[in-house]
Amino acid sequence: MPKHHTETYESRGHIRTRVKMRKGEAISLCRCWQSKKFPLCDGTHNTLDNDRGPAIIKVDCDLDFLDPGAD
């Protein structure tokens, strides 16, 4: 499991997730906001009445940080 931490920007209402990943690793980021392991997907979306699943990210090279919320 890649190392991760979250940062919350209260003033902008955004949650930014930074993930350190190595080549070949994959991670599933929750997009339904119901995961008990947020920001990671724990499969809870399968119990909800919508079609929103995780964002699955896999890298094919080493990255120091992956910042999906970067501007």
Question: Which residues bind to ligand FES, rule: CB under 6 A?
Answer: 30-32, 34-35, 41-45, 53-54
The alpha carbons of the chain give a radius of gyration, in whole angstroms, of 13
Smaller CB separation from ligand FES, 45 or 64? 45
Q: How far is the CB of 16 from ligand FES (least distance, A)?
A: 17
Residue 27: Cβ-neighbour burial (10 angstroms; 0-12, 13-18, 19+): buried
Q: How far is the CB of 61 from ligand FES (least distance, A)?
A: 25
Sign, CA torsion 7/54/57/3: positive
Smaller CB separation from ligand FES, 23 or 43? 43
